[in-house]
Amino acid sequence: MKIQTTILTAIAAAALIVTGCSKEQVGKAVDDTKAAVASIDTSKVEAAFASAEAGAKDALKPAVEAIKNADYAGAVTQLKSLGEKFKLTDEQQTAVNDLIAKAQKAIADLAAKASTEATKAATDMTKSLGK
């Protein structure tokens, strides 16, 4: 869900802008969000599928692209489907399950970060209105 990352970035940026933060602080919030998005390594699952049948390799490509584009929900759906459609080796199944867990953790981390930033922004706004 590239849209999800964009929305979370926009929320974090808007929260910082509303509270009167400098451009450097807004840029840092956006960079932090991008860093969280880029933190999932797909090399383990790609290595596990290096010798897989062509159909399984082709089915893995959209999931890896979804991870790289921060479409974690889409990637999870595609990875689960991959496990159902193809007979995977134990190594492949482990790699797929690990990648699913990482994607789900990234979704939770981004949501928690956005929630924290929004709460902080609301608190700061309330404080500034009281002055």
Specify the DSSP class assigned to residue 4: H
The answer to whether the CB of 26 falls within 8 A of the CB of 16 is yes
Task: Supply the DSSP symbol for 52.
Answer: S
Is 40 in contact with 108 (CB distance < 8 Å)? no
What residue segments make up the domains of the chain, in order of their start?
2-129
- What value does the CA radius of gyration of the chain take, rounded to a whole number of Å? 19
8 Å CB contact between 117 and 15: yes
Question: Which residue ranges in the chain fall short of pLDDT 70?
Answer: 1-38, 130-131
- Residue 120 is predicted with a pLDDT of 83
pLDDT of residue 44: 94
What's the confidence (pLDDT) of residue 19? 57
Closest listed residue to residue 29, CA positions, set 127, 113, 122: 113
